[in-house]
Amino acid sequence: MAQDSEDRKAATRVTHLGRKPEWTGVEGHPSAVVSPPVWRASTHLYPDTKALKEGPKHNADGHFYYGRRGAPTQWALSAALTELEPGAAGTMLYPSGVAAIAGALLTVLRPGDVLLMTDHAYEPSRTMARALLKPLGVETRWIDPADPAAIEANACANTRAVLLESPGSLTMEVHDTPAHCAAARQRGIVSILDNTWAGPLGYAALAKGADISVMSLTKHVGGHSDLMMGSATAGPQWYEKLRHNAHVMGQVVSPDDAALALRGLRTMALRLEKATQNALAIATWLAGRSEVGQVYCPMLAGSPGHDLWKRDFTGGCGLIGFTFAGSDAAARNRFIDALALFGIGYSWGGFESLVTPADPATIRTASQPDPRPGIRLSIGLEDAGDLIADLEQALGAWSAP
Ligand SMILES: *Cc1c(COP(=O)(O)O)cnc(C)c1O
């Protein structure tokens, strides 16, 4: 008996997603090639003026209309992401993860509304509160990411939405997302989850209660540090509004980038599995070192958020962090500069390991993380033993200038 495609494991499903016969073939020979080709087009042509006039009325996904609505390459990526997310009605693509977050917030919020934002939100999300939402008359209140009653304690009559992120940026507290989303729904508050860390393979955002799941595809989906893109996926209640807002704002991604993202998606399960194994091995090693203070890795038993991660998540990733057992920021910087296998640069989720300094205590409002100098590591696909040897030699530079 044929398996239902939803019963199949992620590694099987990611090989088939978005490969509609008409997107990978021609009339008379559907499914002629494996990957949807790059349809590079601004103008879409109509057979006659009657069809041209009807075109805009045919306002549905997956129909030729004009380049800003995408063509089969973008449709294939968007369909693949929708199929990966149980409960999803559709996915909008944006030129970056930040644009996707802005798209979700601007779909939901109106002047006079109050937004609750988790205090460990990605820094550009925090900036959005001040630089985009405040001038539009939306007030943001910060909530402690570790407080299980954060919604009940901070909601008011005008609270319209909550932006969650789990695990959060830099300190990786894991929310009790199902409880937060349930509390929000009870009060008519829309839950938006930045699910970039786990992605749909590691966390079923909508099934766990989020109304809109946002992701930076720049990270795990792209996976090769060569493209920028974002997505917002929603159930039937929010998808049409999200789509309308994205169209009004003129959001579109290039077919070349969509093809790269689709290519990345095919190996995402495999890459995440290896990066997670590597990250856990490194976090375990770090936790045993006297030079290290707090380790941030929800996959590590005993680490903050581990119990919720174990309860709710079906996967991890390579993004971890730690603080040093000392307050000398110059020593931290010596450590970074001494690393040979870790590139120094922003972003994460690529095949190669990266490092950045991390000082979250300087930007928080509603919570107080470890104030000691810290590090964020994006662990890639290298050999874990080689990475540990590199970290070990760099710890030498930390202790002795
Ligand atoms: C990187 C990141 C984003 C933004 O993604 P870009 O594609 O770089 O704009 C959003 N959320 C989180 C948690 C991120 O780490």
Whose structure tokens read 């093809």? Answer: 259
Q: Who lines ligand 1 at CB under 6 A?
A: 96-98, 122, 165, 169, 194, 196, 216, 218-219, 228, 230
Catalytic residue among 9, 40, 53, 68: 68
Q: Which atom of ligand 1 is nearest to the CA of 98?
A: 9
- Cβ within 8 Å of residue 91, ≥6 positions away: 78, 79, 81, 82, 85, 231, 232, 233
Distance from Cα 177 to the centre of ligand 1, integer Å: 19
pLDDT at 8: 83
Please give the sequence-ordered ranges of beta strands (E in DSSP) within 250-348, or none if there are none: 292-296, 319-324, 343-344
Cis ω before 167 (30° cut-off from 0): yes
Catalytic annotation present for 122? yes
The residues facing 249 across adjacent strands are: none
Q: Which atom of ligand 1 is nearest to the CA of 228?
A: 7
- Cβ within 8 Å of residue 41, ≥6 positions away: 67, 71, 255
Residue ranges of the chain that CATH labels 3.40.640.10: 7-264
pLDDT at 6: 64
| Cα atoms in the Cβ-side hemisphere of radius 13 Å centred on 142 | 18
Q: What angle do CA 67, 69, 70 make, to 5 degrees?
A: 65
Assigned token pair, 149: 């009653």
pLDDT at 56: 75
Widest distance between CA atoms in the chain: 77
Is the CATH code 3.40.50.300 the one for domain 268-399?
no
Distance from Cα 214 to the centre of ligand 1, integer Å: 9
Residue nearest to atom 2 of ligand 1 (CA): 216
Closest C-alpha to 260, from 233, 223, 230, 231? 223
pLDDT at 2: 44
Residue ranges of the chain that CATH labels 3.90.1150.10: 268-399
Catalytic annotation present for 160? no
Catalytic residue among 122, 203, 239, 296: 122
Catalytic annotation present for 68? yes
From CA 159, how far away is CA 274, in angstroms rounded? 41
Give the helix/strand (H/E) hosting 376.
strand 374-378
pLDDT at 5: 63
What CATH number labels 7-264?
A: 3.40.640.10
Q: Which of 120, 196, 203, 346 to mutate to test ligand 1, by most ligand atoms within 8 A of the CB atom?
A: 196
Distance from Cα 53 to the centre of ligand 1, integer Å: 39
Distance from Cα 390 to the centre of ligand 1, integer Å: 27
From CA 134, how far away is CA 68, in angstroms rounded? 29
From CA 289, how far away is CA 74, in angstroms rounded? 46
Residue nearest to atom 8 of ligand 1 (CA): 97
Task: Give this prediction's pTM.
Answer: 0.96
From CA 396, how far away is CA 401, in angstroms rounded? 8
Distance from Cα 317 to the centre of ligand 1, integer Å: 15
Average pLDDT, consecutive stretches of 10 residues, N- to C-terminus, the chain (401 residues): 64 91 94 96 95 81 92 97 97 98 98 97 97 98 94 97 96 96 98 98 98 98 98 98 97 98 97 98 98 97 94 97 96 98 97 96 90 97 98 95 73
Catalytic annotation present for 271? no
pLDDT at 236: 96
- Cβ within 8 Å of residue 154, ≥6 positions away: 116, 141, 143
